[in-house]
Structure 1
Amino acid sequence: MERPALPPVVYVPTITDEDGANRLRMHELRDGRVALFVYSAIDRLEEQYGEGHPWALLSVPNLQLAHERAPFDLLLLDRDLHPREEAAHG
């Protein structure tokens, strides 16, 4: 299976840590791996995190820098946070 190509820039959800610094929002998966969910359009991010959720716009080179600073195991493009039940059965 071919990997989908990343667009030149992606929208990445962020969080504010206890020190007030913005960080990329990582997700720990059930198997223990850490994933960074990225989105090709702001409306796709908002469908998953809600309108007004903080985000950053990153280029592919900036994604690489982010990975070097805070490693993650998977980079997931336009993925649902909570896959629908019918998708799990289909």
Structure 2
Amino acid sequence: MQTEVPAEDVRAQLLEFVTSLVSTELGPDEDYFAQGLISSLVALELVTFVEHRFGLTVDVADLDLDNFRTVNRLTGFVLAKTAG
């Protein structure tokens, strides 16, 4: 059974990781894909980080860009995956 992580902790960890990937400060609602800050290779790093850090599996059906577009959307995705 997974331990529920508070949303603000998930958001903070994701924001820290994404910021380290793009080497610039980002807000939680900034679309780093639209800004061209994340390539497909870096996107794979993000998926791998989410899986390992939060103990979940990102299924093929989950690979919708909208789940990963911003830190807030990614936070919602992680919380939804770990809730069930």
Taking structure 2 as the reference length, the TM-score comes to 0.29
Structure number with higher relative contact order (C-alpha < 8 Å, ≥ 6 residues apart): 2
Higher percent of residues as helix: 2
Higher percent of residues as strand: 1
Larger-gyration structure (1/2): 1
Taking structure 1 as the reference length, the TM-score comes to 0.27
